[in-house]
Amino acid sequence: MADFLLVVLGPLILIGLREWQWRRGWRVPGCAADLAFLRITVCSIGLLAFFWTKPEAAADMPAGLIKPLGLFTEMKHSFGLAEAFRDPTILFGIRWTTGLFLILGAIGFLTRWSLACAYLSYFVFMGIGREYNFCYHEFFSVLALLPLLILTPCSRVWSVDALMRRLSHGDRLNPFLQTSEYGAARMLIWTPFAMMYLGAAISKIRNTGLFWWWPSNMQFIIFSDQLDDFMVFDWGIESLIFGAPAALFGFIGLGGLLVELFFPLVLYSRIARWILPTAALGLHVGIWIAQRLVFQDLLFVPLFFISMAALRRGIGRGPVRSEDDGDSPVDRADQDRKAMSLNTDRDRVGENESMRNETARSGGPNNERALVLRIAFALVVVYFFIGNVYGIEHYPMTSWKMYSKIDRAWNAWYFRLNATTRDGQTVRVHPGIEFPILRGSRHRVVLFRAFEDPAYREDLANLFQRFIAKYNARATTEGEPPLESLEIEYVRWKFLTDTDGPYAGPQSNVLTLVRWTISPDGNEFVEFPK
């Protein structure tokens, strides 16, 4: 019953506040340049995923590691593509097709068609790796933003489409003219970010309580990631983190929770749009350093709140009338009506003609477009609330519940990875670079599955053996000693009773629960008593 009330009341509050502000004329300002910049930003982040994510790695992964992944798996089996998505040539083609459509979307060529094709190919591109793991959230914001961009007039300026319209029809738009329609479109693009952060905060509060941020819980989270050998980034600051006062961890946790909980205010408050995106950037940089875990797409959140009109004013290129310039909602609404009249007759005629051409192609006048954007806002809010509250994991629907649970025994749990060469040396290796399902914190899901399921364990051992073979082929070429074995240990550290760290303190505080040794010829799995 509580879940149902949350799903009903949460969207009602957010949507109701949005409509109340709209009807009073208190609206987010925006211009065509803002939407063009958002289009370029979203497609550029997608291209960053193109370079960071390599679906071709799926061709080397055992088929036994595949788990159902919502609509992606249903689509794959419906069209008989199960084997095709394991072909390295096809996987390579999917990656480059996705990159091509993202480039076309960024430059604004046949924009709506390009964005639609980019979304479909990105859906497949992102689904391939997740099918071997779970619906993780790396670069996931692009998947939510691409279909929303299709609904916005994001190609009216700074696009090939706009250039072609100008050359063929003489259409001319003022990129910096601010109207409520553009503002409604900006707000729609911000909505997934607001819901992602709010969903993460709700999950923490529902799964742990209001004191999720308590210092011992923050130490459990940060220590577990800092000690884990599967994490790629290594800053060499373990001693600083282990020696930091407990109160600092509580302060960090409380600050992060408040940023997530109040981030939806960016939809309604100009002051929140000044503060919270930058605070979110600080949060993610802190996670990157303290937990060695990076959410690449969310590092760019502040870019989504840049106002091109304000930036133009700031560099002295001339005044721009804005809905934010007034002292009251009435003033802001009045400025929206006056903005058009401040242009020259020539600009006004060209702009109105361009707007008519654009809306004729989109099937309705601008006020109808604004209504569509407001309806889309409501649907996005409801969609994210349902996914988060009910914990639905059915790709592309997902819940934002990472790090929301607590270990009340106050232990740090982590994995050690010891790689031994044939001449007896111990070297540092990163299997996650070769196989993305082991990158970041995603390795925990597959390793825990392997501990519980012997058949799955054999398939995962086969994956590590393939990693050893790839490493040895590269080592032979570079004249380095090849690997003899990998040893994976699952370790518990009682950090509350050991202030010296897991290596310097009494070893009675450090307990190895599992030791899994993998060599090219086989593997040995040993569980120790707890």
Strands 412-421 and 483-493: what pairing? antiparallel
Burial 477-496 (b: 16+ CB within 10 A, else e): eeeeebbbbbbbbbbbbbbe
Averaged over 170-192, what is the pLDDT?
90
Determine what percent of the chain is predicted with pLDDT higher than 90.
63
List CB contacts of 505: < 8 A, sequence separation 6 or more. 498, 499
Spatial separation of the C-alpha atoms in residues 217 and 246, rounded to whole Å: 10
Residues 6+ apart with CB under 8 A from 223: 241, 242, 412, 414, 493, 495
Predicted confidence band at 517 (pLDDT cuts at 50, 70, 90)? very high
Q: In what order do the strands lie in the sheet with 483-493?
A: 426-427, 412-421, 483-493, 510-519, 522-527
Q: What is d(CA 482, CA 475) in angstroms, rounded to the nearest whole number?
A: 6
Q: Given the structure tokens 């969903």, which residue do they identify?
A: 199
Q: b or e along 364-393 (b: 16 or more beta carbons within 10 Å of the residue's beta carbon)?
A: eebeebbebbbebbbebbbbbbbbbbeeee
- Closest alpha carbon to 211 in 408, 386, 387, 400: 408
Measure CA 370 to chain center. 27
Q: How does pLDDT run across 423-482, given as a tens digit for each residue? A: 989 999 989 888 888 887 888 999 999 999 999 999 999 999 999 999 999 998 988 899
Residue bearing the bigger pLDDT, 318 or 74: 74
Read off the tokens for 34.
């803002």
| Mean pLDDT, rounded, for 265-292 | 96
Element (H, E) at 510: strand 510-519
What pLDDT digit, counting tens, does each position of 342-375 carry?
A: 333 333 334 444 444 444 343 333 567 788 899 9
Q: pLDDT-based confidence at 526, cuts 50/70/90?
A: very high
Q: Which residues, listed in sequence order, are joined to residue 458 by a DSSP beta bridge?
A: none
Distance CA 506, CA 500 (A): 9
pLDDT at 41 over 70: yes
* Beta carbons of 361 and 111 less than 8 angstroms apart: no
Tokens of 466: 């393939």
- Give the number of other Cβ atoms within 10 Å of residue 133's Cβ: 20
- The alpha carbon of residue 383 and the mean position of all alpha carbons in its chain are separated, in whole angstroms, by 17
Using one digit for the tens of pLDDT, what is the confidence trace for 148-174? 999 999 999 999 999 999 998 887 788
- What integer best gives the mean pLDDT of the chain? 87
Res 479: pLDDT: 86
**In the structure encoding, which two tokens stand for residue 138, read together?**
């790396």
Helices then strands, each counted (H, E), the chain: 19, 5
CB atoms within 10 A of CB 69: 24
Q: What is the 3-state secondary structure (H, E, C) of 206-255?
A: HHCCCCCCCHHHHHHHHHHHHHCCCCCCCCCCHHHHHCCCHHHHHHHHHH
Tell which residue, 60, 61, 77, 57, has the closest CA to residue 69.
77
**3-state secondary structure labels for all residues of 11-47:** HHHHHHHHHHHHHCCCCCCCEHHHHHHHHHHHHHHHH
| Cα–Cα–Cα angle for 145, 177, 118, rounded to 5 degrees | 20
Q: Cα separation of 356 and 334, whole Å?
A: 22
Q: Count CB neighbours of 236 within 10 A.
A: 6
Q: What's the mean pLDDT in 310-331? A: 56
* Confidence label for 501 from pLDDT (cuts 50, 70 and 90): low
